[in-house]
Amino acid sequence: MKKMFIPFSVPYIGKEEIDSVVDTLKSGWLTTGPKTKQFEADFASYVGCKHAIAVSSCTAALHLAMDAVGVGKGDIVLTTPMTFAATAEVIEYMGATPVFVDIDPGTLNMSPELLEERLRSMTPEERRRAKAVIPVHMAGHPCDMDAITDIAGKYGLKVVEDAAHTLPARYKGRMIGSISPVTCFSFYPTKCITSAEGGMLATDDDGYAERMRIMSLHGISKGAWNRYSKEGSWYYEVLQPGFKYNLPDVLSAIGISQLRRSESLLEMRMRHAEVYSHAFRDMPGIELPELSPDVEHSWHLYIIKLNLEMLGIDRGGFIEELRSRGVFASVHFIPLHLHPYYRQKYGYKPSDFPRAESQYKRMLSLPFYPKMTDEELDYVIETVRETLERNYVKQTTAAGGDLTADCKLAV
Ligand SMILES: *Cc1c(COP(=O)(O)O)cnc(C)c1O
């Protein structure tokens, strides 16, 4: 095989995105204005929520959501360790404590059973401080939202979804973005759609929407009492020390074009996922992504798990071998309780979340993006096959036939 270079991710940017950025630049209105209003309206009708508020990132969205649902100093917010830094750092911003709940090893999403178990084991004092839960739809596979919503209801928690990976995705036919009090999306370049940087808040709640909109721009509100007076055009009031989290029109212009492509980008990713899963199904060293019958997956990431007991190599070594052949894989994510900040502040040991820890050791995310060609997909598949074959431990290769029966099939 001739060596190729396959990056981990490449954003899909077409003529529409480029033309609309140029038009916006020429319009003379660069920051938040008509394009952002349009992006919000298009997004709200796409996911089926009453209010969509465009912000500068998903991290900003999560921060504003924590503020809106009333998370404050000393409170507790439950979330998963299997996520990106952003999910827990916003809890820290509020002076609250993130409490991690271990995952379902198949989907890598927070386990509803363990969520309930954790809440049940809390002291009455801790339970009083527990204000919210942030489920993360890992790789684009929606969490079990009925179970999480039920538990949240029972314990008086607000649900804020981290939907950085899920556009579009459905849970029992309902679009992610239309289920919980607040849902937060990301338009970072590696995500399902991009605006270079950006995020979106989705909510049906008028009060949350008003609070998040005000806080996203310095906590400024137009003074209601003089809205119709001569001073109305320049007068404003600072209601709170808010943030500077607005999304500029130059970026919303990209977002509008990308949102129009959302379904066709998903189709491309689904097709690639099928090609991968079809090929990997016969490779006993690999476990495929799991797919619950309740969901429509957005296929943001394609994560495989190595059956390490069959291999004379660890996950890090596997990634290095792929890389030396030009295939750039990655890992999503290094569980948060393994990072120095959380380890030191909360005294976590790796074994505190054994499922996250053990899945982390075997996971890798393969190159995966809409524009991948058949040749590129084949190159990744053959490189993975060769890397496995070079590293199979002899006696388990013979048992491979039996072990494959355990592999969960994705598509
Ligand atoms: C990317 C990501 C975020 C943060 O998104 P930004 O738009 O970069 O702020 C949050 N949560 C998860 C799970 C992510 O993958």
Each residue of 77-93: pLDDT tens digit? 999 999 999 999 999 99
- The residue with greater pLDDT, 231 or 115, is 115
In this prediction, residue 411 carries a pLDDT of 41
pLDDT tens per residue, range 244-277: 999 999 999 999 999 999 999 999 999 999 999 9
Q: Among 199, 231, 261, which residue terminates a domain?
A: 261
180 and 205 share a domain? yes
Closest Cα to atom 6 of ligand 1: 58
Work out which ligand 1 atom sits closest to the CA atom of 190: 1
Strand residue runs (E) in 227-299: 237-238, 286-287, 295-296
Domain membership of residue 5 (yes or no) is no
For 300, which DSSP code? Answer: S
For ligand 1, the distance from its centroid to the CA atom of residue 245, given in whole angstroms, is 15
**199 close to ligand 1 (CB < 6 Angstrom):** yes
Domain membership of residue 147 (yes or no) is yes
**86 close to ligand 1 (CB < 6 Angstrom):** yes
230 and 101 share a domain? yes
- The residue with greater pLDDT, 143 or 399, is 143
Average pLDDT over residues 216-227: 74
Q: Which two tokens stand for residue 74?
A: 């000393």
For ligand 1, the distance from its centroid to the CA atom of residue 59, given in whole angstroms, is 6
For 8, which DSSP code? Answer: S
Indicate the helix (H) or strand (E) that contains 365.
Answer: strand 363-365
Q: How many angstroms separate the CA atoms of 190 and 254, rounded?
A: 14
Select from 344, 350, 351, 381 the least CA-distant residue to 366.
Answer: 381
Domain membership of residue 248 (yes or no) is yes
- Give 120-169 as a DSSP string: HTS-HHHHHHEEEEE-B-GGG----HHHHHHHHHHHTPEEEEE-TT-SS-
155 and 270 share a domain? no
- Residue listed under structure tokens 């909510």: 203
In this prediction, residue 95 carries a pLDDT of 98
Q: What is the mean pLDDT of the chain?
A: 94
Q: Among 261, 277, 299, which residue terminates a domain?
A: 261
343 and 222 share a domain? no
Closest Cα to atom 8 of ligand 1: 188
241 and 277 share a domain? no
In this prediction, residue 396 carries a pLDDT of 47
Sheet of strand 174-175: strand arrangement: 174-175, 170-171, 295-296
In this prediction, residue 215 carries a pLDDT of 97
In this prediction, residue 112 carries a pLDDT of 98
In this prediction, residue 233 carries a pLDDT of 72
19 and 147 share a domain? yes
Q: What is the pLDDT confidence band of residue 402, given thresholds at 50, 70 and 90? A: very low
- Calculate the alpha carbon distances from 23 to 26, 29, 249, 333 in Å: 5, 10, 11, 38
- Calculate the alpha carbon distances from 168 to 28, 46, 79, 125, 161 in Å: 32, 9, 22, 39, 14
Assessment of whether the complete model's pTM goes beyond 0.75: yes
217 and 349 share a domain? no
202 and 326 share a domain? no
- Residue listed under structure tokens 């827990």: 88
Q: What is the pLDDT confidence band of residue 395, given thresholds at 50, 70 and 90? A: low
Q: Among 261, 285, 302, which residue terminates a domain?
A: 261
**188 close to ligand 1 (CB < 6 Angstrom):** yes
Domain membership of residue 6 (yes or no) is no
Average pLDDT over residues 178-201: 98
For ligand 1, the distance from its centroid to the CA atom of residue 216, given in whole angstroms, is 17
Is 410's pLDDT higher than 50? Answer: no
pLDDT tens per residue, range 3-35: 999 999 999 999 999 999 999 999 999 999 999
Query: CB–CB of 48/71 below 8 Å?
Result: no
Indicate the helix (H) or strand (E) that contains 221.
Answer: strand 220-221
Domain membership of residue 62 (yes or no) is yes
In this prediction, residue 403 carries a pLDDT of 47
Strand residue runs (E) in 58-140: 76-79, 97-100, 130-134
For ligand 1, the distance from its centroid to the CA atom of residue 60, given in whole angstroms, is 10
For ligand 1, the distance from its centroid to the CA atom of residue 127, given in whole angstroms, is 28
Work out which ligand 1 atom sits closest to the CA atom of 61: 9
Q: How many angstroms separate the CA atoms of 396 and 297, rounded?
A: 32
269 and 257 share a domain? no
237 and 364 share a domain? no
Domain membership of residue 1 (yes or no) is no
**Residues designated catalytic:** 191
Q: How many angstroms separate the CA atoms of 328 and 379, rounded?
A: 12
Q: What is the pLDDT confidence band of residue 406, given thresholds at 50, 70 and 90? A: very low
In this prediction, residue 153 carries a pLDDT of 98
**164 close to ligand 1 (CB < 6 Angstrom):** yes
Is 367's pLDDT higher than 60? Answer: yes
Domain membership of residue 10 (yes or no) is no
124 and 197 share a domain? yes
In this prediction, residue 232 carries a pLDDT of 62
CATH code of residue 198: 3.40.640.10
In this prediction, residue 351 carries a pLDDT of 97
Q: What is the pLDDT confidence band of residue 408, given thresholds at 50, 70 and 90? A: very low
In this prediction, residue 404 carries a pLDDT of 42
**186 close to ligand 1 (CB < 6 Angstrom):** yes
Domain membership of residue 399 (yes or no) is yes
Domain count for the chain, please give it.
Answer: 2
Domain, as residue range, for 199: 15-261
Q: How many angstroms separate the CA atoms of 339 and 357, rounded?
A: 12
CATH code of residue 351: 3.90.1150.10
- Residue listed under structure tokens 């388990």: 396
Q: What is the pLDDT confidence band of residue 1, given thresholds at 50, 70 and 90? A: confident
131 and 268 share a domain? no
